[in-house]
Amino acid sequence: NQGGTCYLNSLLQTLLFTPEFREALFSLGPEELGSLDDGSKPDAKVRIIPLQLQRLFAQLLLLDQQAASTTDLTESFGWNSHEEMRQHDVQELNRILFSALETSLVGTSGHDLINRLYHGTVVNQIVCKECKNISERQEDFLDLTVAVKGVSGLEEALWNMYVEEEYFENENLYRCGTCDRLVEASKSAKLRKLPPFLTISLLRFNFDFEKCERYKETSCYTFPIQINLRPFCEQTEMDDSEYMYELFSVIIHKGGCYGGHYHVYIRDVDELGNWQLQEEEVRLIEEKALRDTENAKEIENPLEVLKGILSEEESKQIPVDQLGQKLLEKKGVSWNKKYRKQYGALRKLV
């Protein structure tokens, strides 16, 4: 933490533990991104931001250390002072980081990385009650901002946004371009395109116009582990699986609107982390570990596996940072998934 960058750490941990994002980032090699060693050369085409993000992720995954510095990454954004780092919240940072990555990856195979994983569209429609003309406007989003005030939870907020209609009537009429006069009309919005990863931002910070000050909504707000978005979509003919989303990460803010602390809960789908369990669970885990040792001979020795991979190389040598990729290609499983829990980081073992 560089002093008030907990929001940055929370977002970076979420991206690191998102397999599709992490693997797409690591698939970009020096032939596309350049090298950080060439950054000072005037004619070198070095894409600093994705390279620094790669380096940070590699440090977190491969090095046997408790933390990794984010200074080089924030400097690649152009943030060179504590003030520049303190003036953002996690939603704003998400947009800044995604925009910076998109710009940096133009002309590479990862040019559509952000759009492919996070881009969705909303369609807004106004229907004239007289001539039935439909006025339509499509909006792109990388995250959906939903209301907190006056609603009990996420599903109610989405219902208000994408199911309920707003009506223009009585003193509040709509000017129809086709009728060329004020008419009654209805306004609605629907989700037109859903992204593989849906990011939802809660609008907890509001402004009290009577007191002329900002405040934070602290009421209870519920959200499900799974949610079906079919009722909120324009097209509803696809399979149920296309509309079902599972909760993957929750970034939490503790404090008020002028300060506080961010932390994050993430589903570790690839079992990359080393977790400390409650004391009452430790005994059960230890007993299971003892039982597992009886079958240890059935588990492949990772050193023998790595020796076999090296023996197939003509030079009998492989750079350490490419060894994990070779293992994945040869065995169809990553080091982190099969061996990390028992043997630790690959770089540490080697």
Domain boundaries along the sequence of the chain: 6-115, 119-242, 279-349
Residues 6+ apart with CB under 8 A from 136: 123, 124, 125
pLDDT of 19-43, one tens digit each?
Answer: 999 999 999 998 888 887 766 666 6
Task: Compute the distance between CA of residue 287 and CA of residue 285 in angstroms, rounded to an integer.
Answer: 5
Cα–Cα distances (Å) from 185 to 122, 134, 137, 180, in that order, read: 20, 10, 15, 13
* Residue given tokens 């989405």 in the structure block: 158
Set 6, 128, 176, 233: catalytic member = 6
Q: Is 261 a catalytic residue?
A: yes
Q: Which is it for strands 200-203 and 144-147: parallel, antiparallel or unpaired?
A: parallel
Set 82, 212, 220, 261: catalytic member = 261
CA-based nearest residue to 205, from 197, 196, 214, 213: 214
* Residue 167 phi, psi dihedral angles, 5° rounding: -115, 135
Tokens, residue 277: 């369990």
DSSP 3-state assignment of 228?
strand
Q: Is 6 a catalytic residue?
A: yes
| CATH assignment, 119-242 | 3.90.70.10
Task: Compute the distance between CA of residue 277 and CA of residue 28 in angstroms, rounded to an integer.
Answer: 36
Mean pLDDT lowest among 68-77, 242-251, 279-288: 279-288
DSSP 3-state assignment of 161?
helix
pLDDT of residue 297: 47
Cα–Cα distances (Å) from 130 to 167, 170, 174, 180, 186, in that order, read: 13, 14, 11, 11, 11
What is the percent of the chain with per-residue pLDDT over 90, rounded to a whole number? 39
